[in-house]
């Protein structure tokens, strides 16, 4: 049997783990690089590809969507974020969610609850 791809692994994890625990990226390897003491050589692990074919779609439609997408991208340290991208799939967590809410309030004057990002 061939090894499952990264998308299949993420889908399997999404079926068993809470959404916020599913890794943003998965890199499929034939074997883990090991140090002489048998521990994983983290420095030799490849970086995940930054391009995700599943993250394609339309861009922001309005100025407000564009501003919110810009805030998400800035907080998540990504070049761009689309209106249908998941905050948590892009690496977001509760502390970053609070940063997003603070920035949205400052820039747009909108009263956004942190729990909205978790829904």
User: How confident is the model over 29-73, as pLDDT tens digits?
Assistant: 889 999 999 999 999 988 777 555 444 456 667 888 888 888 999
Domain ranges of the chain: 1-51, 55-119
The CATH number of domain 55-119 is 1.10.10.10:
no
115 or 37, which is more confident: 37
- CB proximity list for 56: less than 8 A, separation 6 or greater: 82
1-30 pLDDT tens trace: 566 777 788 888 888 988 777 777 778 888
109 touches 102 (CB < 8 A): no
């Amino acid at each position: 049997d061939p090894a499952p791809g990264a998308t299949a692994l993420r889908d399997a994890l999404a079926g068993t783990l809470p959404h916020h625990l599913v890794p943003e990226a998965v890199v499929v390897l034939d074997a883990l690089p090991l140090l002489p003491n048998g521990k994983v050589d983290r420095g030799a692990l490849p970086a995940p590809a930054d391009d995700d074919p599943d993250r394609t779609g339309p861009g922001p439609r309005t100025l407000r969507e564009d501003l919110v997408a810009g805030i998400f991208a800035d907080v998540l340290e990504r070049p761009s974020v689309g209106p249908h991208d998941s905050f948590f799939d892009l690496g977001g967590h509760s502390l970053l969610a609070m940063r997003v809410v603070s920035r949205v309030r400052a820039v747009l004057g909108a009263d956004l609850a942190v729990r909205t990002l978790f829904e």
